[in-house]
Structures are given as structure tokens and as C-alpha cells.
């Protein structure tokens, strides 16, 4: 990567841990240009916030249980809602002529990713300051839950604009909450009750192990919560859905029980989040810079974060890699849902497949973690193997396995689902270890921006391909490209050197 200009390096250096040859930190520098001093090492971080006890760590896991159904249930079902409601509107001549009804879900996903990126750039990094991380996590959880609940009114084809708006609004709340939640991970790992008493290399090694363990456990707890709610929504669909293949169904019958299940996600999210907030501590950062607008602060910090990615070479390389393979993963998951609905599958069948997918992702976290411990492999090695596997699965889809082979959907996508949860957990864990100390919310905001910003590409490709060809399958070529490029970039990331650059090694 290019070295930034000296002026930009100076701006980043204000936040870089300065280590003396004897391993001790230099004295903190005075605040300049509105830049607030950040914590210098993970040990100081733990001293500042106090020990993270088991009850607080469990509360952190519980929030994953609360919000994961948004991604696992609502995100999947809403693609069907958007496609169905657009088709109903198109049949009545009330839909846009510039795109096909099948392109409406990718368009809304593209718009959601664009607005999410703007929200992240504006608001997310302010959570590094004071106790805003906790306050915003609470408030946006409740606001997002309300948007989820309002989807129950989208029961007519003429309401397709409302459905799109609610998906965008709820998605923005969800992604900000995810950023604030993820920003707790390096803070809790540095202050973990098994880490704080250790020193030097032993501490660094244990902190990395704890980060991997917490990320994996949080993901497993989240998938468990998603599985439970998926079962509930499956039962609702099984008993009450109108089977379009055998019955004539009104707009209401085709949409109501789908949007009912989406609204249930909001109740689940806010209900269990209330329990999580009882144990999750604020763990505040420094005071907000004097005289700086909170709206300007996010963009300023995002700019500094981008400069930091140039300064911290391995963190920057990982983010570029993540930008590529996360979009490939999101694209292949979106395509799976749309291909199923295009085939005319009953909604209960789609939910059953989703339930199997969630169960496979949950199982995959355990299997990949067990394999890593057994083989003594690094997180980087596991991620490289997983990206290779995903590229092979995408190639199978390009080869027509989904459409030409009986049960091809399961053959091609079963390995993807077994890899999904583990890939997300290892990515989050590896990135947490490469973040400069004291810049957790800022850097996790960039992490999520890379995830959602990259989706602008995959969803655009999907929409253009379907509008021009009427098919989704050719988009899998893009998935192959994304996984291969992501793996090449990841190969050049050195986690050990990256942690040293980030100040996470005493």
C-alpha cells in the first residue's frame, strides 16, 4: 500500500502507541487539533475500565442472542416480502417500469447499504467517546425494533414503497447497533478476568485466545437465538401460509404472515436486549473534543481511520480483504433466497431451509473451532481455507448445480452455511486484534462500512444481471472473483506484526 503524505502520517501518529525500547509507553502527548488522547496499551485499557467479570461477558453474549434474528430471520424473509410485494404491484401496473419486480430486493438492499454507510460515517465513531457507545446501543435498539414492528402493515401490493423504507430504516439501526456491540469485544478481551493478571508475551497470547473464544461463543449464542425464532416463524408459516402453488391467494394472504414474522423479530430484539443491558457496563472513552460538532466528528474520525489503515499496514490489508470476501458472502446468501423464491417454493419450505442453514452455521462454528484447536492452526489459516471452499461452491453454482441437479441447492450451499458463522467469527476476532488500541469503535465502524459498503457492488451486480437476463445465476461469477481476491490479500497479512503495530503486545 502507498505511504500517506507526511502531514497525514503526523495526524495518525497522534494516536499511535509510542513504545520505548524498554517496552514502556512514552508519556502521553498533549491534546492538539481537537484530538483526544487515547489509551496507549491494552493493559492501560484494562486498568482504566476495571476487570470484565463473567456476568458482563455473558451479558455481551446475550445481546448477540437478541439481535442476531434480525440477520437470520428478518433479513431473509424481507427479501421475499420485497419481491412478492413488487410482483403484486407490477401485476396491477403500480410498479416502476425501469426495473423488474425481481430486481426490487437487490435495489432496496443496495439503497440500505448506501444509507448504512452514510450513517456509519456520521455517527458510529463518536461511540469511542464518553459512554455514548452504551447510550446509542440502547436507543437504536428500541428504535430499530419499532421499525421492525411496523412492517406488519405491509399487506398490500400498493405499499411496496413503505416496505422498502422500513427495511432501510431498520437496517440502519441494526448496523449501528452491531458496530457498537462489536466495539466491546477488544475492550472486554483486554479486561478479561483471565487476562488482567498476566504480563508480556503470556498476556498477549492469552488475550488473542480470549478474543477468538469470545467472538466464536458470541456468534454461537447469536445463531442459537436465531434458530429458536426461526423455528417459531416456521411453525407460523406451516400452519397459516397460503400455498401459491395450489391456491389462489390474495395480497393479504401472501404477505401478512411473512410480515408478522418480521415484526416478531422486533419484539425479540428489544425484549432480550433489555436483559443484556442490565449486565453490560458502559466502559467509556475520553471526553468529546471541545467545540467539535458530533456530526462532523464522525467524518473526521473516519478520515483518520482511513489514514490509520494506511499507517497500520496489516490492519489495512485485512480490511481490503474483508471488503472483497464479505461482499462475496453476502451476495451468495442473497442469491440463495431469491433463487428459492423464484422456483416457487412455499414460504414454509424457505423457512425450513433457513432453519437448516442457521443450524448448519451454528454447528460450523463449533466444528471449525474444534478443528483449529486440534490442528493448532491460526485464524488466518482457517480463513484462507474457508475462502477457498467458498470459491469452489460459487463455481459449482456457475456450473448449474443449483438448477440442473436434484437437490443441487443443498449440495452447493451446505458448505457455505457450515462456513458462514465461523468465517464471521474469525474475521471479527482477527480484526479486533489488529485494531490500534483506543480506536475500537472508530475502526469497527470502518469494518462494518467495508462490509456494507462492499454490498453496494454485489447488490448492483445482482440487480443489473436480473434486469438484463431475467436470471440470478450469472452473478455467481462475481462471487468467485470476490473470494479469490480476498484470499490473495489475506495471504499477505501478518497477524503477529499487526498486533505489535496496533499496540496490543506488551
Burial 485-504 (b: 16+ CB within 10 A, else e): bbbebbeebebeebbebbbb
Give the pLDDT score at 67: 92
What number of other Cβ atoms are within 10 A of residue 93's Cβ?
Answer: 7
3-state secondary structure of 476: helix
In this structure, is residue 4 part of a structural domain?
A: no
In this structure, is residue 491 part of a structural domain?
A: yes
The CA-based dihedral angle spanning residues 206, 277, 122, 504, taken in that order and rounded to the nearest 10 degrees? -10
What number of other Cβ atoms are within 10 A of residue 229's Cβ?
Answer: 24
Mention every residue, 6+ apart, whose C-beta is less than 8 A from residue 261: 73, 77, 233, 236, 237
Each residue's pLDDT tens digit, 291-335: 777 777 778 777 777 787 778 888 888 988 998 998 888 888 878
* CATH number of the domain within which 114 lies: 1.20.1250.20
Q: Name the β-bridge partners of 19.
A: 25
Cβ–Cβ < 8 Å for 443, 436: yes
Beta strands per DSSP E along 88-204: none
Residue 131 pLDDT class (50, 70, 90 cuts): confident
Range of 318's domain?
Answer: 51-502
Checking if the pLDDT of 376 tops 70, the result is yes
Cβ–Cβ < 8 Å for 201, 56: no
Three cell numbers, residue 146: 419499532
Three cell numbers, residue 33: 487539533
Each residue's pLDDT tens digit, 44-102: 555 566 788 889 999 999 999 999 999 888 988 898 899 889 988 888 888 887 888 88
In this structure, is residue 37 part of a structural domain?
A: no
In whole angstroms, give the CA distance from residue 494 to residue 265. 39
In whole angstroms, give the CA distance from residue 279 to residue 56. 5
Pick left, alpha or beta for residue 192 (phi over 0 → left; psi -120 to 50 → alpha; otherwise beta): beta
In this structure, is residue 116 part of a structural domain?
A: yes
Give the pLDDT score at 215: 83
In this structure, is residue 29 part of a structural domain?
A: no
Q: What angle do CA 464, 261, 104 make, to 5 degrees?
A: 15
Residue 491 pLDDT class (50, 70, 90 cuts): very high
Number of domains composing the chain = 1
In whole angstroms, give the CA distance from residue 160 to residue 138. 30
Give the pLDDT score at 140: 95
Cβ–Cβ < 8 Å for 302, 188: no
In whole angstroms, give the CA distance from residue 236 to residue 101. 26
> Average pLDDT in the 218-222 region?
86
Residue 1 pLDDT class (50, 70, 90 cuts): very low
Mention every residue, 6+ apart, whose C-beta is less than 8 A from residue 496: none
In this structure, is residue 57 part of a structural domain?
A: yes
> Average pLDDT in the 112-139 region?
84
What number of other Cβ atoms are within 10 A of residue 103's Cβ?
Answer: 24
Q: Name the β-bridge partners of 46.
A: none
In this structure, is residue 6 part of a structural domain?
A: no
Give the pLDDT score at 387: 94
Checking if the pLDDT of 434 tops 60, the result is yes
**Exposed / middle / buried, residue 373 (Cβ in 10 Å: 0-12, 13-18, 19+):** exposed
Using alpha carbons, select from 56, 337, 312 the residue that is nearest to residue 188: 56
In this structure, is residue 39 part of a structural domain?
A: no
Give the pLDDT score at 346: 63
Amino acid at each position: 500500500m502507498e505511504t500517506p503524505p507526511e502531514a497525514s502520517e503526523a495526524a495518525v501518529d497522534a494516536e499511535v502507541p509510542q513504545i520505548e525500547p524498554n517496552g514502556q509507553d512514552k508519556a502521553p502527548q498533549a491534546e492538539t487539533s481537537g484530538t483526544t488522547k487515547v489509551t496507549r496499551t491494552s493493559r492501560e485499557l484494562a486498568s482504566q475500565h476495571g476487570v470484565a467479570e463473567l456476568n458482563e461477558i455473558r451479558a455481551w453474549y446475550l445481546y448477540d442472542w437478541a439481535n442476531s434474528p434480525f440477520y437470520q430471520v428478518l433479513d431473509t424473509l424481507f427479501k421475499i416480502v420485497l419481491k412478492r410485494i413488487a410482483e403484486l404491484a407490477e401485476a396491477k401496473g403500480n410498479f416502476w417500469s425501469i426495473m423488474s419486480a425481481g430486481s426490487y430486493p437487490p435495489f432496496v438492499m443496495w439503497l440500505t447499504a448506501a444509507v448504512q454507510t452514510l450513517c456509519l460515517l456520521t455517527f458510529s465513531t463518536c461511540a469511542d467517546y464518553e459512554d455514548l457507545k452504551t447510550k446509542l446501543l440502547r436507543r437504536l435498539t428500541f428504535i430499530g425494533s419499532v421499525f421492525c414492528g411496523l412492517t406488519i402493515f405491509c399487506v398490500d401490493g400498493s405499499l411496496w414503497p413503505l416496505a422498502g423504507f422500513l427495511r432501510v430504516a431498520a437496517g440502519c439501526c441494526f448496523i449501528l447497533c452491531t458496530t457498537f456491540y462489536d466495539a466491546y469485544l477488544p475492550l472486554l478481551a483486554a479486561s478479561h478476568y483471565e487476562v488482567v493478571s498476566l504480563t508480556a508475551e503470556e498476556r498477549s497470547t492469552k488475550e488473542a485466545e480470549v478474543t477468538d473464544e469470545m467472538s466464536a461463543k458470541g456468534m454461537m449464542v447469536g445463531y442459537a437465538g436465531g434458530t429458536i425464532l426461526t423455528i417459531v416463524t416456521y411453525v407460523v408459516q406451516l400452519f397459516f401460509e397460503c400455498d401459491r402453488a395450489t391456491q389462489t391467494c390474495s395480497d393479504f394472504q401472501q404477505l401478512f404472515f411473512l410480515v408478522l414474522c418480521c415484526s416478531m423479530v422486533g419484539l425479540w430484539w428489544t425484549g432480550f436486549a433489555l436483559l443484556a443491558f442490565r449486565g453490560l457496563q458502559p466502559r467509556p472513552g475520553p471526553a468529546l473534543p471541545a467545540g467539535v460538532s458530533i456530526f462532523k466528528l464522525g467524518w473526521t474520525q473516519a478520515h483518520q481511520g482511513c489514514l490509520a489503515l494506511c499507517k497500520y499496514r496489516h490492519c489495512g490489508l485485512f480490511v481490503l480483504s474483508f471488503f472483497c470476501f464479505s461482499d462475496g458472502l453476502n451476495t451468495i446468501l442473497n442469491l440463495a433466497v431469491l433463487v428459492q423464491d423464484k422456483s416457487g417454493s412455499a414460504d414454509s419450505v424457505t423457512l425450513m431451509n433457513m432453519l437448516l442453514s442457521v443450524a448448519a452455521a451454528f454447528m460450523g462454528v463449533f466444528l471449525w473451532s474444534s478443528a483449529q484447536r486440534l490442528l493448532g492452526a491460526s485464524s488466518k489459516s482457517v480463513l484462507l481455507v474457508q475462502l477457498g471452499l467458498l470459491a469452489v461452491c460459487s463455481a459449482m453454482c456457475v456450473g448449474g448445480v443449483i438448477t440442473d441437479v436434484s437437490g443441487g441447492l443443498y449440495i452447493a450451499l451446505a458448505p457455505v452455511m457450515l462456513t458462514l458463522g465461523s468465517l464471521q467469527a474469525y474475521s471479527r476476532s482477527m480484526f479486533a486484534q489488529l485494531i490500534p488500541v483506543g480506536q475500537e469503535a472508530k475502526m469497527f465502524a470502518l469494518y462494518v462500512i467495508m462490509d456494507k459498503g462492499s454490498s453496494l457492488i454485489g447488490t448492483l451486480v445482482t440487480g443489473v444481471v436480473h434486469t438484463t437476463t431475467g436470471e440470478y445465476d450469472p452473478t455467481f461469477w462475481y462471487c468467485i472473483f470476490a473470494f479469490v481476491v480476498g484470499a490473495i490479500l489475506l495471504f499477505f497479512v501478518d497477524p503477529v506484526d499487526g498486533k505489535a503495530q496496533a499496540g496490543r503486545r506488551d
